[in-house]
Structure 1
């Protein structure tokens, strides 16, 4: 039982880190140039 709980914990940590890394890449990496800023579009 301890072995499967350890494996599940490691799997969840890897999933969390990969989602966080991908989000940072999308937000600040080369694909971020394609993102639009709705607040900048509606400035008066």
Structure 2
């Protein structure tokens, strides 16, 4: 494989993996540990 192809694959995988990790953090198991600051300060 050429160097340019390897670099292009690496760059294109980065946003996909970041999006997957962000979705897992927001909606997966770790989301139960997140706090809601608006809910803490309701009147």
TM class, shorter-chain normalised?
Answer: 0.7 to 0.9
**Structure 1 runs (4+) greater than 4 angstroms displaced:** none
What TM-score do the two structures reach when normalised by structure 2? 0.82
Unaligned ranges ≥5, structure 2 = none
Gaps of 5+ in 1: none
> What is the number of residues matched between the two proteins?
42
Q: Give the alignment's Cα RMSD to 1 decimal.
A: 1.0
With normalisation by structure 1, the TM-score equals: 0.80
